[in-house]
C-alpha cells in the first residue's frame, strides 16, 4: 500500500507565475501567535523564517482550504489558481 507522500508525489502541478496565496504580514506578525497554517497544511506550503515571519511557497498547494479555515485572524488572501493552473490529481 502506498504512503500518503507517495500518492501526493503522483500529482502534477502547473505553477502559475502569479501566486494564489498572499499573507498579510502585518496581521500575521501582530495578531497570530500560534501560526496554525504551518501545522495544518498537508503540503508544507508554509514556513517560518529566523525572525518568526510566515512565508508561503504555493507551488505544491493541494487546494484543500485547510489553511484558510485555520487562519483565525484572516491574514491569508487565498483564491484558487487561475484556470489551467494548480494541482491536477492523479488517482492511479
Ligand atoms: Fe496547504 Fe491546503 Fe492551504 Fe494549499 S489550501 S496551502 S495545501 S492547507
pLDDT tens figures, 28-57 = 999 999 999 999 999 999 999 999 999 999
Find the length of the chain.
Answer: 92
> What pLDDT was estimated at residue 64?
96
Q: Which residue ranges have their beta carbon within 6 Å of ligand 1?
A: 40-43, 45, 61-67
Q: How far is the CA of 92 from the centre of ligand 1 (A)?
A: 22
> What pLDDT was estimated at residue 56?
96
42, 57, 85 from 68: Cα distances, Å: 13, 15, 19
Q: How far is the CA of 37 from the centre of ligand 1 (A)?
A: 8
Q: Which of 77, 80, 85 is nearest to 17 (CA)?
A: 85
Residue with the smallest CA separation from ligand 1 atom 4 is 61
Q: What is the pTM of this model?
A: 0.89
Residue with the smallest CA separation from ligand 1 atom 8 is 41
Amino acid at each position: 500500500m502506498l504512503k500518503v507522500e507517495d500518492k501526493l508525489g503522483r500529482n502534477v502541478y502547473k505553477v502559475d507565475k502569479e501566486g494564489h496565496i498572499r499573507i498579510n504580514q502585518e496581521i500575521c506578525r501582530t495578531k497570530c501567535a500560534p501560526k496554525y497554517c504551518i501545522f495544518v497544511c498537508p503540503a508544507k506550503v508554509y514556513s517560518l523564517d529566523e525572525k518568526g515571519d510566515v512565508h508561503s511557497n504555493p507551488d505544491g498547494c493541494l487546494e484543500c482550504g485547510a489553511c484558510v479555515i485555520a487562519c483565525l485572524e484572516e491574514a491569508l488572501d487565498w483564491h484558487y489558481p487561475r484556470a489551467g493552473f494548480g494541482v491536477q490529481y492523479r488517482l492511479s
